[in-house]
Structures are given as C-alpha cells and as structure tokens.
Amino acid sequence: MHVVIVGGGFAGAFLARFLGEKNRSRSTARITLISKTNYLLFQPFMIEGIIGDIEIRHLVTPLRAMLDYPNIEIVKSEVLSVDLENRKVETAHGAVSYDRLVLAPGSETNFFNVPGARESCRQLKKLDDVLELRAEILERFELANIKTERSVQKKLLTFAIIGAGPTGVELATGLHDYMFETLVRYYKNVQPENINIILVEATSSILAGFDRNLVRWAEKKIRSMKIDLRLNSPVEKIEKDRIYFRNGDTLNSEVIVWTAGILAGKLIKVLNRATDRMGRVEVDPYLRLPGNPEVFVLGDSARVKDIRTGDPLPPEAQVALQQAKYVASLIKSTSSSDPSRPFRFIRLGRLASLGSKNAVTQIMFLRFRGFVAWFIWRTVYLFRFKGIRNKVRLIFDWTFALFFDRDITLMR
C-alpha cells in the first residue's frame, strides 16, 4: 500500500512519523511525504526566535532526520492538483500515484477581506517571516539610535499587532521584553518612552477560549507592561502605514503584524468541494473526504465536528497531532475501510506566554499563571519538539539566555 501525505507541517510530518517502520521487511505501507520545505517549522517558538531567546536555526527540524525510516520517502515539491478519480497527485516535478492520500497542506493568513491588509501587514507563518520581522525591528532601532528627535523615534518605534489570540499576545509581550530589557541597553540614544507597542483586538477580550479568570489576569498583566491594548476595535481598512477602525479612529504604524486568523491551504480548492468561511473542507467523523474514503484531510484544512458538542474543532497544533495519531491507527488497521470509532478530540489544555517568566496555562481542570505557568509552557512544548538533538539545543539556548542578554545581531 502506498500512502501519500501532502504537507510537512504538524499533521503531515507527525503522521509520517507514526507510520514509520524501522525494519523495511516488516513495513506494511510505503510512505511518500510531499512538502514545500525540507524541514518542520516549530511555530510555537517563532516569537522566541524573533526576540533572540532561541537561535533561529533551532526553530526547525530537518524532515529527513525526523523521518529517517526505510519505508518513508520525502519529496520536496509543490502539489499542483489532485486527481481523485485516478488516484494521482500532480506535483511540480511530476505525478505521484497513491492508494491512500492524506491532505494536510496547512494554512495561510486570513485577512477577512479587510482592504489593504494583505499588502500592508506582516505575517507570522513561515521561517522567512521570523527573519524579516526580526531584521525590521533591529533596523529600526539602528535608525532610531541615529535619529534622536522624539517624533522620528516614535514613528520608527511604533509597532501594531492585530489579533490578540495566543500568537498576538505572545508577540506583543515578547517584543516588550526584548525592547525594554535588551535593546534599550545597547541602543543608548533610544528613549524608552518613544517605544510604542499596540495590541489590537476586534472582540471584547484577549485569548479566546481561555478561562475567564486567566484572561482577566493576562489583560491586567499586559496593561501593566504599558502595552497599548485596544479591545472592541475591529479594523475597517489599512492604507500602508495607517489603520482605520470601524469606530472612526485611526492609528499610524509603519510596522503592522497581522495575527488575527487563518485560512485553509489553497490546495483544498482543487478538490472542488464546498468549504466553510475558513476555506476548510467538510470531512466525515473518520476524517475522510465524503465520497472518497481513501482520502483523509487533516489539520487546518479539515472542518471536523467535535462529536460531543457538534462545533467545529479549532485549527490548533494539538488537534492536528491527535488527528495524525488517529489516522495512523486507521491506516495500520486491517479494517481501515470500515473504522469502528470516529475521531474524538481530547482537549489537553491551553497555553500562552506573557513574556519573560510569565504565562497562563490551563491543563484539564487545573489553572496556572505567572512563573509556574511559564515553566509548564516551556516544558510542554519542549517535549513536543521531536529529537534529542533538538531538545538539547533548546535547553542550551534557554540556559544561555538566563545568564546572557538576548542576541541583537542584525542579519539582512
């Protein structure tokens, strides 16, 4: 049996790992993973890469090292189309046939059709986004160190983040610590009062889905950091360096980062199936494409209903990981054509960092905040990072950061 997996993100890479066999003679399936990159980007640590807590190279794991199994082949290419009738995927380097197909192409940024947002905002989806945003921040501090006029420094050092989910909150608080604890120390002509970090949220609170007590504590913590938190502020449009809000207010910022939502990968459109407002295709309770039981859709591209509530599951890493493990068990099972149990997601918790040694976490019925929550946050993600080599690198980076300043090297 030939299983083709499209996408080298969490869902695709971990599915391949779960299907990997150490002994070729015992392999029941041949696995081909098709990915645009030859690495898995560990997105939960992207912020730490931007602010210098982690060496940027350590944010990625080579897929060939992670999936070094005799029955796994990795193809670095882009999938252009899917022929469901003939069971083939067309890549930029030719066609690949399959017996089982797993589509996990990941996601892209959802700008919710806000005019000018795509053209004016930075995103946080790829490794290049990390490198570019980090370079942009340092470049602006270099200029501000030369141009000492108050109005010029304020213009250079105003950073707007749209979307106060975990990514937006972690970025805002991470930038605060980086700028006020590290950068102002070395850029001696920069006046701290000229640094302005604005966190914009369309709804009435941050961190949707988190326990209300944790949310209130986090909002208080963010305000105490002098981060300009603007709730109930939906964006009407963006024109280059100006944000227009629906209530008539405006905000000037030359660096705008959009973290407000995601859309399913564009590949899903080639299936010619109905999709929801996030571009996700509906799958059955076994994560299969209706009418094509040999095709599975996982991760951010699948609209999967929670079997307990009937609500669509959120596009989160832990959802993707549990889906990967479930589909691996189906593919390995001799009764995969008629599975006995549907996919059931078990919420393990929610985690969000609030900068140096602060976080909010909820694990099952337990709630933590502050240093304990921060320690849990790092520990949980450390164990999710696969490979002893990667874990050692992260531990070294974190230990190094305890005794030395964050890296301020401008690489552009």
**24 pLDDT more than 80:** no
209: left (phi over 0), alpha (psi -120 to 50) or beta: left
pLDDT mean over 322-345: 84
How high is the mean pLDDT of the chain? 93
**332 pLDDT more than 90:** no
26: confidence class by pLDDT, cuts 50, 70, 90: low
pLDDT of residue 338: 67
Where is average pLDDT lowest: 56-70, 268-282, 333-347, 394-408? Answer: 333-347
**242 pLDDT more than 80:** yes
Percent of the chain with pLDDT over 90: 82
Task: Record the pTM.
Answer: 0.93
pLDDT of residue 337: 59
pLDDT mean over 77-94: 96
pLDDT of residue 405: 87
Where is average pLDDT lowest: 18-22, 62-66, 184-188, 330-334? Answer: 330-334
pLDDT of residue 298: 97
Nearest by Cα to 195 from 225, 219, 164, 166: 225
Take residue 257 and report the two structure tokens written for it.
């980062």
pLDDT tens profile 143-194? 999 999 999 999 999 999 999 999 999 999 999 999 999 999 999 999 999 9
Query: In whole angstroms, what is the distance from residue 315 CA to residue 99 CA?
Result: 27
**336 pLDDT more than 60:** no
pLDDT mean over 127-139: 97
Domains, the chain, with CATH or none: 2-36+77-109+262-347 (3.50.50.60), 117-260 (3.50.50.60)
**210 pLDDT more than 80:** yes
27: confidence class by pLDDT, cuts 50, 70, 90: low
